[in-house]
Structure formats: structure tokens, C-alpha cells
Structure 1
Amino acid sequence: MSREAEVRYHADQEIAKSFPELLDKAREAERTLRELRAADADEVELRAAGLAFDRALTEALRAAEAGQRATFGVKAYDDRIARRKARATPEGAMWTAEVNRLRTLREENRLWGIPHVPSRVPAAR
């Protein structure tokens, strides 16, 4: 195992510690977006809420990916076989499923949750 892998491992452990708080922020942003949709808010508000949800999901996803890498262990940073074996453990599979779930949720939000607000076209002179 390389020194760089060990440094990245410890950095990922620190980042992964913030995962629960970041996931709570994402849930709160989703709740806000759903409430605005239910209240039939205008598209500007919905867009702002959709973008806030996207940012919160991205932060949570980064922390989940760091947790996944840290769970795989130091050897997995340099060795793809070790990474594959670690993914098959119960804890590795749990993190992999969580990362996939967050990626899917973020992609769905990017496709359908952020309304496009048309910009004004300048008048012809």
C-alpha cells in the first residue's frame, strides 16, 4: 500500500463522518421542494429549491462515496481486486447501494425536479 493511499484513506474517513448531517440536509431540501410543489409555487421558487436540493444531494453523495472508499480499506485504493472483494462484504454492499441510490435520486432531480425558467429574449431593434 502506498503512502498516498493511506493519506486518501484518512481523508475519506474524515469526510465520511459528515454523511449523516449532509443526508439530513438533503432530506430537508427535498421536503422544502415537495412543500413548494404542493403549494403550487412559481417556477422561480421551484428552481431555487430544486438547485438547493441538487447541491445538498451532491454533498451527501460525495460523503457517501468517501465512506464507501474508506469502508473498502487502504488496500482498495491501489488494488482493484481488493476493491471488488470489499464491495462484496455486507458493509461494502450497503455503502454501494447508498451511493447508487443517491446518484439515482440526484439524476432524477436534475431531469425532472429543476424547472427551466426561460430567459427573456431582447426585443429586436
Structure 2
Amino acid sequence: MVLGRRKTGEDARRRHAEDETLAGRLPELLDTVESAEAALRAANAEGAEVEDLHARGVALDTALTDAMRAAYAQERTLIGARGYDDRIYRRKRLAAPKVKAATQAAEHLLTLREAHRLHGIERVPTSPAGI
């Protein structure tokens, strides 16, 4: 018997595998964010209609949300499967430099998404009732 060694549960291993899959898509999702942002900027520069700007803003929000979720999945992947069950192990692993960098990247994406939600999505005017 090895002391200090804990087994991870089946649920933790399953969630870890799901996070690995999602984290593997992060570069692709970041490219999607970049292209959605470029499309929104181009539409703004061209003076597009409000509805088009709204649709492109929502597309960028969706891309930022997916990339943020993948970045947090990457953080959990770097922590390891044991981090799902053992909070002390998770806290210790959060101090590792690679995990800190992944956390900072995920939080940066979260900040970008929140700023975009506050200021970047054009509001579509509603038509008055009865018209």
C-alpha cells in the first residue's frame, strides 16, 4: 500500500477526459474569436445596419464564451483528475506556473467577454406597440 496516494473516482476521470477534449479545441476557438472580431470591426467601419451589427456582436459573444469555457477546461486539465475530488490538491496545483498562466488566460477571456457584453453588442431598437 502506498501512503498519500488517492484514487480518482470514475466521475472525475470522465470529467477530466471531457475537459481534455474541450481544451484541445482552444486554438481553433481562439481563431473563431479573432475572425468574429474582425467581422464586427469591418461591419462597424462600413457603417452596416444596426441589425447586422447586433448579429455580429452576438456571434462574437458566442465565440468568446466558447473560448473562455475551453480555457477554463484547459486549467482543469493542467490541475489533473484528482483536482475534481480533492480540494486541497486542487489549491496546491493552482499555484503551479503553468496553471497560473492558464488561469490568467481564462480570466482575460472572461474579462473580454464581459466588456463586450456591456459595450460591444449593438442594441436593436424595438418597434413601438400598436404599429
TM range (shorter): over 0.9
Matching of residue 53 in structure 1 with residue 60 in structure 2: yes
Unaligned runs of 5+ in 1: none
Q: Which residue in 2 is equivalent to 1:20?
A: 27
Matching of residue 104 in structure 1 with residue 74 in structure 2: no
Q: Which residue in 1 is equivalent to 2:123?
A: 116
Matching of residue 31 in structure 1 with residue 38 in structure 2: yes
Q: Distance in 2 between matches of 1:42 and 1:108?
A: 22
Identity over aligned residues, as a percent? 42
Matching of residue 78 in structure 1 with residue 82 in structure 2: no
Q: Which residue in 1 is equivalent to 2:4?
A: none
Cα deviation for residue 31 of structure 1 reads 1.0
Q: Which residue in 1 is equivalent to 2:5?
A: none
Unaligned runs of 5+ in 2: 1-7
TM-score (norm 2): 0.89
CA RMSD of aligned residues (A): 1.2
Equivalenced residues, count: 124
TM-score (norm 1): 0.93
1:21-57 CA distances to partner (integer Å, 9 max, x unpaired)?
0110011101111111222222111101100000111
Q: Distance in 2 between matches of 1:117 and 1:11?
A: 37
Q: Distance in 1 between matches of 2:86 and 2:47?
A: 51
Larger Rg: 2
